Amino acid sequence: MSGSLPPLSLSILGVEPLDEFILEVADFIHHTIMTRPSNEELGVNESRIEVEAKVGTLKDKSTNMRLQLPILVETILTPGFDVRFESNMTIRQHQHYNQQLNKLHVTSTQPGHPSSPVGYAHHYLIDSFYGTDRDGRVRVTRDEKTNEVESVRKIKLANLEIYSPKRQADWRVTVSLECPVQHPVGQAMHTRRKDRLSYKHEEFSIDLTQVTANEAGTSNLLHELELEILRPELIMSLAAKRGDPNVSEMERGGFDELIRAFVNNARILVKNAGDP
């Protein structure tokens, strides 16, 4: 029929161009990992990489309102752009995410579901902070159920801000180092209690957390959503092989494939933010 569309090539070269957005995020994360300071430079015995995306709002510092730019679609901001990222959401959005993720957890185990099962765990955590950012702030986390304790010094390496004008939320990619340290002595500077719903899917964890922060005699309630790559050792292994001509094409492309899925998950979360 004259009105039907015949099969089309991906392009005049028969290939699909690289997605510049995903490539930019992958380049940013890879560069940050490969240029990270050594354990010797940090004065620590051990460190592990952390890559996460936080859902929140980019705010104009001069107005404290959500950023407004003459842009129609999702955009990566140039690093250093003078903007503030607020990792928080309304209780209504938190409840919306909770309902959607719980539903996904249940349906993902049903026959015919198009993706892998989504795991679920509920954690109650207490964070206590010692020292300052200048002298190396230490976070001590205690699991209220198991009484397991972890002491780490977290060093943020770089952030990448993503502005999403068509959505109810923006997002930020953060690359950090977590360095296990001994439990500090003295009194904590401040504490926070985290009521965390954790959903695990393949190589990723989606953490929906209600945070009660206590500092200087005041208490603040925050609602946070984070997406994290679960295995630091996998990130490091794939990053080292990226572009290496001595390994297979699949191994060379493993890092970009991991970041592609990471970005897709972040986009899905932002798209489903719900009304404030």
| CATH number reported for the structural domain that contains residue 123 in this entry | 3.20.100.10
Which ranges constitute the DSSP H helices of the chain? 20-34, 39-42, 91-107, 232-241, 249-252, 254-271
The yes-or-no verdict on residue 132 having pLDDT over 90 is no
Q: Is residue 276 part of a domain?
A: no
What confidence category does residue 2 fall into, taking pLDDT thresholds of 50, 70 and 90? low
Q: Is residue 126 part of a domain?
A: yes
CA distance 19 to 27: 12
Q: Indicate if the pLDDT at residue 100 is higher than 70.
A: yes
What average pLDDT does the structure give for the chain?
A: 95
Give domain status of residue 14, yes or no: no
**Does residue 3 form part of some domain?**
no
Is pLDDT at 221 greater than 60 in this prediction?
A: yes
In a domain, 232, yes or no: yes
pLDDT at 167 over 60: yes
Q: Is 191 exposed, middle or buried (0-12, 13-18, 19+ CB in 10 A)?
A: middle
User: 219 pLDDT band (50/70/90 cuts)?
Assistant: confident
Does 9 map to a domain?
Answer: no
* 172 located within any domain: yes
Question: Who's near 275: CB < 8 A, 6+ residues apart?
Answer: 92, 93, 168
What domain range is 183 assigned to? 20-271
pTM of the predicted model as reported, rounded to 2 decimal places? 0.94
69: nearest Cα among 80, 88, 82: 82
Q: State both tokens at 189.
A: 């500077």
- Rama region for 196: left / alpha / beta (φ>0; ψ in -120 to 50; rest): beta
Q: What is the pLDDT of residue 91?
A: 96
Q: Is residue 5 part of a domain?
A: no
> pLDDT digit string (tens) for 103-131?
999 999 999 999 999 999 999 999 999 98
Least confident of 52-56, 80-84, 98-102, 221-225: 80-84
> What pLDDT shows up at residue 134?
64
Q: Note the pLDDT of residue 60.
A: 96
**Distance from CA of residue 66 to its chain's centroid?**
20
Work out the percent of the chain whose per-residue pLDDT is above 90: 89
Q: Which pLDDT tens digit goes with each residue over 32-47?
A: 999 999 999 999 999 9
What would the DSSP string read from start to end of 55-122? EEEEE-TTT-SBP--S--S-EEPPTT-S-EEE----HHHHHHHHHHHHHHHHHTTSTT-SS---EEEE
pLDDT attached to residue 135? 63
Total number of domains in the chain: 1
Local confidence band at 136 (pLDDT 50, 70, 90 cut-offs) = confident
Stretch 159-178: mean pLDDT: 97
When pLDDT is cut at 50, 70 and 90, the band that residue 216 belongs to is: confident
